[in-house]
């Protein structure tokens, strides 16, 4: 970290100032009118608006975690936000398919939730929850019709054979962000999967003794989350602008300069630091022996 970098507390305040200005630009996009059942274009608009709103709420949570001593967990919000950003870019590149995709992927998700719950719970419990046997069966048939449409869409857009949705890696490649996706995927995977590396990072000290705590990397991961949540939010806004009607206020160049100045105060952060590899530089690896089995 550069000596002239802002403290984590100052970065949190910078992000709050930045978001206050973005709130003026974006306006209140939480309300929609003239929604009609079956209007696929409205599903697309809901997905676009909800992506921006959810990310805005996630940034508030990231700031709260950073301000209350739990910054090490702020990265958890980045994975879904990044996938939302990629999807908004992908849908924007395929405007003819975007409404149908938004509606049918929603139905696919609901169907998968009903199926998973039905598989885990007994039919008796499902009935007690209001899911009658005939409803569950008919809903599965209903979902299959839309899965068939998705497979046809996949053939048009070049997804894997017979797939009813593209992989996120495919979407990232399609929008020209595969290398960035690989970086974010690796950085965030350790927060959603078992990761011995990430667990061992919480052990810090020397040969005389170690302490284990998430606070050792709280500052690092807080900075990482602040930078990437900002970048993802901005790119998502750019991607959904054609779909979301934002205020047409007169924002002068001074207002824009303030936004760019605040963004410039938030530096990028690496995944791993050289300090963690100090033992390699000293030629003193941890006591881990590789033994050949007899």
Residue 172 · residue 86 · CB < 8 Å: yes
Q: Which residue has the higher pLDDT, 251 or 135?
A: 135
Q: Does 144 have pLDDT greater than 60?
A: yes
- Chain-centroid distance of CA 246 in Å reads 23
Residue 144 · residue 156 · CB < 8 Å: no
pLDDT, position 16: 97
pLDDT tens profile 191-224: 999 999 999 889 888 778 889 999 999 999 999 9
CA distance 48 to 267: 27
Q: Does 243 have pLDDT greater than 90?
A: no
Return the domain boundaries, the chain. 13-269
Q: Is 121 exposed, middle or buried (0-12, 13-18, 19+ CB in 10 A)?
A: middle
Residue 98 · residue 92 · CB < 8 Å: yes
pTM: 0.91
Q: Does 281 have pLDDT greater than 80?
A: no
Q: Bridge-partner residues for 55, per DSSP? A: none
pLDDT tens profile 69-110: 999 999 999 999 999 999 999 999 999 999 999 999 999 999
CA distance 173 to 153: 18
């Amino acid at each position: 970290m550069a000596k002239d970098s802002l403290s984590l507390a100052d970065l949190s305040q910078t992000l709050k100032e930045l978001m206050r200005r973005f709130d003026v630009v974006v306006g209140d996009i939480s309300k929609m009118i003239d929604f009609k059942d079956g209007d696929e274009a409205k599903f697309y608009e809901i997905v676009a608006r909800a992506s921006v709103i959810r990310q805005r709420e996630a940034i508030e949570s990231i700031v709260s975690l950073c301000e209350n001593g739990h910054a090490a967990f702020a990265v958890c919000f980045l994975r879904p936000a990044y996938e939302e950003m990629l999807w908004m870019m992908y849908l924007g590149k395929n405007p003819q398919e975007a409404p149908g995709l938004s509606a049918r992927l929603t139905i696919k998700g609901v169907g998968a939730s009903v199926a998973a719950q039905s598989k885990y719970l007994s039919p008796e419990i499902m009935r007690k929850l209001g899911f009658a046997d005939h409803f569950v069966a008919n809903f599965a048939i209903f979902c299959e019709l839309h899965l068939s449409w998705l497979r046809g869409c996949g053939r048009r857009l070049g997804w894997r054979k017979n797939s009813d949705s593209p992989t996120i890696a495919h979407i990232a490649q399609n929008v020209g962000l595969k290398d960035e996706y690989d970086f974010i995927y690796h950085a965030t995977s350790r927060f959603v999967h078992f990761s011995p590396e990430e667990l061992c990072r919480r052990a810090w000290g020397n040969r005389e003794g170690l302490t284990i705590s998430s606070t050792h990397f709280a500052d690092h991961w807080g900075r990482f989350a602040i930078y990437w949540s900002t970048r993802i939010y901005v790119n998502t806004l750019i991607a959904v602008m054609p779909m979301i009607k934002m205020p047409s206020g007169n924002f002068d160049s001074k207002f824009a300069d303030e936004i760019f100045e605040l963004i410039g105060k938030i530096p990028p952060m690496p995944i791993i630091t050289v300090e963690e590899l100090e033992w390699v530089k000293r030629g003193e690896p941890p006591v881990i022996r590789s033994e050949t089995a007899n």
